[in-house]
């Protein structure tokens, strides 16, 4: 197989999701969090409020990072205004908080950071 052919095959596998995974963003559910933690998979909680401009900026960065290879984890978006028990459990005092977990262990926490480098580094800390 030529280097060009290998590159094409790799691109097809990556595009199909067969070889590489990607950052997945979905709404928070206790079941999704429990499954990720039980499997010791990396997962992030994004405490988001629709009225928060910082949260919206973080959301844009997360959307751009979805295409980045190597960020194989799920971001669960928790409603800051309604997920009161979850906020207490993780000691969250402000919207725009991103908590990255590997199983039960907290790997990183960001509050108000909207930089792609900061968010990327936090996500990678659990991979």
Question: What pLDDT, in 10s, does the model give residues 7-34?
Answer: 444 444 444 333 346 899 999 999 999 9
Answering whether pTM is above 0.75, one says yes
70: left (phi over 0), alpha (psi -120 to 50) or beta: left
The H-or-E segment that residue 2 falls in is: none
The CATH code of the domain that includes 99 is 3.40.30.10
29-80 pLDDT per residue, tens = 999 999 999 999 999 999 999 999 999 999 999 999 998 998 999 999 999 9
- Please state the domain count of the chain: 1
Would residue 5 count as lying in a domain?
A: no
117 is a domain residue: yes
Specify if 14 maps to a domain. no
Does residue 84 fall inside a structural domain? yes
Q: Is position 98 within any domain?
A: yes
> Is residue 76 assigned to a domain?
yes
């Amino acid at each position: 197989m030529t280097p060009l052919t290998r590159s094409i095959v790799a691109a097809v596998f990556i595009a199909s999701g067969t070889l590489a995974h990607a950052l997945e963003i979905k709404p928070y559910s206790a079941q999704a969090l429990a499954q990720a933690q039980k499997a010791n998979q990396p997962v992030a909680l994004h405490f988001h409020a629709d009225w928060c401009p910082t949260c919206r900026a973080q959301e844009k960065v997360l959307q751009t990072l979805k295409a980045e290879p190597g960020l194989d984890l799920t971001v669960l978006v928790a409603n800051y205004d309604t997920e009161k028990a979850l906020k207490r459990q993780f000691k969250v005092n402000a919207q725009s908080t991103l908590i990255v977990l590997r199983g039960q262990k907290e790997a990183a926490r960001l509050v108000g950071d909207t930089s792609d480098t900061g968010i990327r580094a936090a996500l990678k800390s659990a991979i």
